Structure 1
Amino acid sequence: MAFFAYILYSATLDRYYVGSTQDMSVRLEEHLKNHRGFTSKAKDWEVKYTESHPTRSEALRREGQIKKWKSRKMIERLIGD
C-alpha cells in the first residue's frame, strides 16, 4: 500500500497547500467539503503534484521537507509550473 505527499492549488486564493495521505481521492474530497482549516477558504482545490512513498513516515517526512522550503518558487519548480 502506498502513501502520498501531495500539493494542491487554489486559483481563488492563488495559494498552494502541501499534505500527505493514503488515499488521494478521499483526501481531496475532504478538502473540498465544508470544514474548518486553511483549505476551507476555497472550493477550487486541484491536485498539482503527488509523490508515492512506501510508508506513512516517508510521506510525512517529504511533506515536512516541502513545507520547510516556505518557497512558492521551489514548489513551482517541483511541480513544473
Structure 2
Amino acid sequence: MLGFFVFMYYLYIIYSETFDRFYVGSSQAPWKRLQSHNTSKFNTYTSKYRPWVLKAVFEAGITRGDAEKIERFVKKQKSRALLLKLIDEKFVPNGKLAQLVRVPQVRH
C-alpha cells in the first residue's frame, strides 16, 4: 500500500505579554516559528517584542497560498477584537475564516 503525506500550512497567533502585542503568521511548523521569533539574531518586528507565547494555531490549508490568503485577511482587519475571538477556544471561525480548523494541543 502506497501512502503519502499531506503537509498542512497553519495560521498562528503569538502574543507578547510584556508589550501587550499580537502577531499573526503562517507556517508549516508554527512551533518552530515560535522558537525562531524568540531567538532569531536578526532585527525583525517580532524581535523587538520578545518573549512571545503561542496563543492559537489553526490548520489553514494544504498550500502556502491558502495560509497566506487567510493571514493577509486577518492582518487587514487590524482588529484586536478579532484576534481575541480567534484565541478563544470556544470561538468557531465563520465567514471568510470558516476553513480554519483549530489545533487543540495549544495551551495558554
Could you tell me the TM-score, scaled by structure 1's length?
0.90
Partners of 2:69 and 2:75 in 1: CA distance: 10
Partners of 1:17 and 1:47 in 2: CA distance: 10
* Deviation, structure 1 residue 43: 2.5
User: Which residue is 1:30 aligned to?
Assistant: 36
Q: Which structure: greater helix fraction?
A: 1
- Secondary structure of 2:11's match? strand
User: Which residue is 2:83 aligned to?
Assistant: 75
Report the RMSD for the aligned CA atoms in angstroms.
1.4
Partners of 2:31 and 2:57 in 1: CA distance: 12
Of structures 1 and 2, the one scoring higher in RCO (CA 8 A, sep 6+) is 1
Q: Structure 2 matches for 1:49-68, cutoff 5 A?
A: 49-52=56-59, 53-68=61-76
* Deviation, structure 1 residue 25: 2.1
In structure 2, the gaps of 5 or more residues are: 1-6, 90-108
In structure 1, the gaps of 5 or more residues are: none
Q: Deviations over 1:29-79 (max 9, x none)?
A: 110013211111132201111111221111101100110110101110121
How much identity, in percent, do the aligned residues show? 38
Q: Which structure: greater strand fraction?
A: 1
Q: Deviations over 1:16-36 (max 9, x none)?
A: 001111111221111001321
Moved >4 Å (runs of 4+): none
Aligned length: 81
